Amino acid sequence: MAEKTAIKTSEKSLNIYQKMLKAQSMIETVAKNIEVEAGKQRTYKAVNESDVLDAVKKAEHECGIYSFPYSREVYETKETKNQYGTVSFWMRFKVVYRFVNVDDTNDYIDITSYGDGVDSLDKAPGKGMTYADKYALMKAYKISTGDDADKEASTEQTEVKEQHHKSIDELVYEWSKCRKKLSELGVDYRSESISSWIAEKTGCDNQDADMNNPEKIEKVNQAYRTLIKSKMEEGSYEEWLNQ
């Protein structure tokens, strides 16, 4: 009985750094057991959050440590588009994860972690928070996954710029401006061949401006711009476009 009491007293005398060092030595490698889809026919392996929690909870219980997300904040948000054109909602979370000595609650360590969540629906927040929490634990206890996260490049993401929705007046002005420029360049946009090409590209059999259909006007304008660009040098086209 005396021996057990001595061990218990010794455990209580450890500070949070000593307890975390002991817990670290108890946690073995956590394998990457799940596959995550990352675009067309592309997957990568990742660590399951439940595997990390199971490994950590046992070690923390034996060492007298309680950990939890002390604070979370949305660090950055934006819409992104990958190389395949898929638009998703991207969020980055900042989490402060606290590791407390249960025998002295004034003795604790805070670790800051970041997590990104990308999803085309409503799962981005959950993904971002899960990632941040999971990696706070993994880095705090130096948990190895047996793999190098940086050996493979991520799918490139580019920020989606906020689009300016043109008014009917702006669209019709551009439609008229494009027609005038095509005539100056000697292009008969009413010819059978060009009319057929425009219809094929836009799905619009009639090139005339439809005041009730701005989407149609914009499609026709895009076709006109393509024709103009093909007839002009790049520099001249950019100058005309910005006039």
pLDDT of residue 227: 86
> Within the chain, which residues score under 50 in pLDDT?
1-9, 40-41, 237
pLDDT of residue 239: 60
| Cα 211 to the center of its chain, rounded Å | 38
pLDDT of residue 104: 95
Out of 106, 132, 159, a domain closes at: 159
How big is the chain, counted in residues? 243
- Give the span between the Cα atoms of 64 and 12, in whole angstroms: 8
- Both tokens of 208, joined, read 């005339």
Pairing of strands 65-82, 43-46: unpaired
pLDDT of residue 92: 87
pLDDT of residue 37: 54
Are 14 and 118 within one domain?
yes
Does 226 reside within a domain?
yes
Residue 66: partners with Cβ closer than 8 Å, 6 or more residues away: 60, 99, 100, 102
CATH number of domain containing 19: 3.30.390
Are 134 and 183 within one domain?
no
190-207 in b/e form (b: 16+ CB < 10 A) is: eeeebeeebeeebebeeb
**Count of domains for the chain:** 2
Does 4 reside within a domain?
no
Contact 91, 57 (CB under 8 A): no
Q: Which domain holds residue 172?
A: 168-241
Residue 103: partners with Cβ closer than 8 Å, 6 or more residues away: 11, 12, 64
pLDDT of residue 62: 93
pLDDT of residue 2: 39
Residue 46: partners with Cβ closer than 8 Å, 6 or more residues away: 32, 34, 35, 36
Are 172 and 140 within one domain?
no
pLDDT of residue 231: 80
- Both tokens of 232, joined, read 């002009």
Are 18 and 89 within one domain?
yes
pLDDT of residue 215: 82
For the chain, how big is the Rg over CA atoms in Å? 30
Are 140 and 175 within one domain?
no
- Give the span between the Cα atoms of 117 and 124, in whole angstroms: 4
- Give the span between the Cα atoms of 126 and 118, in whole angstroms: 10
| Nearest Cα to Cα of residue 98 among 84, 115, 110, 114 | 110
Number of H helices and number of E strands within the chain?
Answer: 8, 6
pLDDT of residue 84: 63
Does 1 reside within a domain?
no
- Give the span between the Cα atoms of 21 and 34, in whole angstroms: 28
Q: What is the DSSP letter of 102?
A: T
